[in-house]
Structures are given as structure tokens and as C-alpha cells.
Structure 1
Amino acid sequence: MQTEKTFKNERLTYRLNIVAQEAIQANDEIFLRETGSRIRDLRVLRLIDDRPGTTFAEIAKTTGFERSLTSRIIQYLIGAGLIERENSSEDARVFLLSTTPKGKEVRQVARRLSDRLEVILTDPLSSQEMRALNEILARLGAWVTSEDYRNALANEPKKDAI
């Protein structure tokens, strides 16, 4: 196991971000080779497949990607024949996105690949550690998306008040 890379910062959010970014960077070329798409493209594909009829605005909000990046990804997915768009019957300016059969197939290939790569990523952890990690991440995820968390942040004293 490689140990020469150490965290340059002890903050939890920094460490979580580094672990995620390192894993994504290491896996991205594998996804491109096996599916023809990069990880972020596949994330958007998955979101559209999970919610047929979703819109550009919903995808941009859910992913947190910049609008220009979201637009490029959607254009790529359309051009690759993985998704299609149709005008909303309620508002012609809005496009409804859905997955094509080819897109559904690519999603399944990506899912199987993701499952295999996740096993490699978590190899240093025991099954008990994996259960604990998943439970902790679920609790943190619920917390950071909660109203209580937003209230706690809003009540954080301002710099001048300290």
C-alpha cells in the first residue's frame, strides 16, 4: 500500500475531498475506456435515467456543476445517443431529458464497472469498517442536508463577534 502521500491538511472536508478526487481521477480513464464516457458524464446520465423528463435546470442544481459544464455534458450525451430531449408541452423553452436504450445499456456497464472499482478502492477496509464508514457517511449526509445544520451555520458567530 502506498503511504508516501499524506494529507496536507487535517480538516475533515479537505480529507474527504482529496480521497474522492484521487479516486475519481484514478478511475476516470477506466470509465472512458470501458463506457466511452467520463465519470461526470455518467453521473448526469444516471440522474436522467433515474428521473425521465428531468430538465437542464434540475440536473445543474442536483450535480452542483456550473451551467456551462452541465450544458456541455448534456450536449455530449445527446450527441453520443445516450439521452434525448423533447420540448415540454407546458413551456416550449424547457427541454425534458430522457435516456435512450443505448444510454440505459451504458449505464448498466458503468454500474458493473463502478461496483468492481469500489471493491478495489475499499480493499484496505474490513467489512466491519465498511459498515461503520457507510453508517457515518449516511449520518453526515443527512446532517449536512438538514435544516438543523443550516440553522447551526446561521447561528455561528461572525468574525467580529468573537
Structure 2
Amino acid sequence: MPADRTFRNERLTYRLNIVAQQAITANDAIFLKETGCRIRDLRVLRLIDDAPGTTFAEIAKITGFERSLTSRIIQNLLGAGLIQRENSAEDARVFLLSTTQKGKDTRLVARQLSDRLEVILTDPLSVQELRAFNDILARLGSWVTSEDYRLALAGEIK
């Protein structure tokens, strides 16, 4: 059997990135067709729905998207009637974002679609492998966002 050429680099971060990007690319058109939104738009919608009253700056920070991209996504969500904004009582220059009922409905459709697509994505894994994989990802996620990880990196960079 020929060697798998999916990964031309053995680095873990590279492989994780390739798997994620391939899945996102394959699924993006499906989400657009079924919800009218791209995956990154739905991520922002979900963040706003999870934290009503969040601001543009908070969304840009959490997503890591460039400010111009974040602005376009928010404008698209506003234009589609999926979110609304109101001025902050403390600072009129700040807009507080929240989802509309249409946005909540779109999020629900996207969640159901995401659940179905994730089943397809993880089809090659057994139930035990999927559970272990999710546990490992959770541990890695906690690690790379921890102060200990930052300190470990700082020790390497000296």
C-alpha cells in the first residue's frame, strides 16, 4: 500500500491545521447553502448568541480574526437580520451585539447540520477512539491556553 501523502510534514500543528482546513473547506459550501452563512460567520453568530451584549472588540479578540474581517462579518450578520446592535449606556461609541430570533433559528439549523457533518468527519474512528481523541484535544486546548504553557515557551525562547 502506498504511503499516505495527505501530510507532507510530520509536525503535529501542521497536521491538525490541514485536517481542520480540509474539513472547513469541504463543509463551508454546505453551511452557506443551508443557512446562508459561512462557517466563520456562524462562529461569530454563536459567540454573540452565547454572550448577548458582547462588543466588536471582544469578538475580534476571541476569534483572532483581523479587525477588517470581523467588521465585514458583523456587517453581514446585521444585514441578514441575524444580529442587532444597540449603543452602550456607558459609552455611546460602543455597540452591544445580540442575536435576533432569526439569528437564533439560524444557529439551531447550523448546529443540527454541524452535528450531522461531524458524524461524517469522524466516521473512520471507533467510539472509543473518538472519545480518546476528544479527551486529548481538551487536554491540549487547556495546555496551550495555560500560563504554564506560556512560561514553558518563554523558557525555550531565551
Q: Could you say which TM-score interval applies, normalised by the shorter chain?
A: over 0.9
Identity of aligned residues (%): 82
The one-letter code of the counterpart of 1:34 is E
Indicate the residue corresponding to 2:14 in structure 1: 14
Shift of 1:85: 0.4
Could you list the runs of 5+ residues in structure 1 that have no partner in the other structure?
A: none
The RMSD of aligned alpha carbons is: 1.0
| Aligned-partner Cα distance in 2 for 1:74–1:20 | 23
Shift of 1:4: 5.8
Report Cα offsets for 1:58-103 as digits up to 9, x if no partner: 0000000000000000000000000000000000000000000000
Number of equivalent positions: 156
Could you list the runs of 5+ residues in structure 2 that have no partner in the other structure?
A: none
Indicate the residue corresponding to 2:134 in structure 1: 134
Report Cα offsets for 1:15-64 as digits up to 9, x if no partner: 00000000000000000000000000000000000000000000000000
Indicate the residue corresponding to 1:145 in structure 2: 145
Shift of 1:6: 1.7
Map 1:51-62 onto structure 2 (within 5 A): 51-62=51-62
| Aligned-partner Cα distance in 2 for 1:157–1:56 | 33
Map 1:1-162 onto structure 2 (within 5 A): 5-158=5-158
Output the TM-score relative to the length of structure 2: 0.97
| Aligned-partner Cα distance in 1 for 2:69–2:156 | 33
Shift of 1:8: 1.0
Output the TM-score relative to the length of structure 1: 0.94
| Aligned-partner Cα distance in 2 for 1:97–1:157 | 39
| Aligned-partner Cα distance in 1 for 2:17–2:157 | 26
Q: Secondary structure at the match of 2:125?
A: coil
Q: Secondary structure at the match of 2:97?
A: strand
Shift of 1:5: 4.4
Report Cα offsets for 1:108-133 as digits up to 9, x if no partner: 00000000000000000000000100
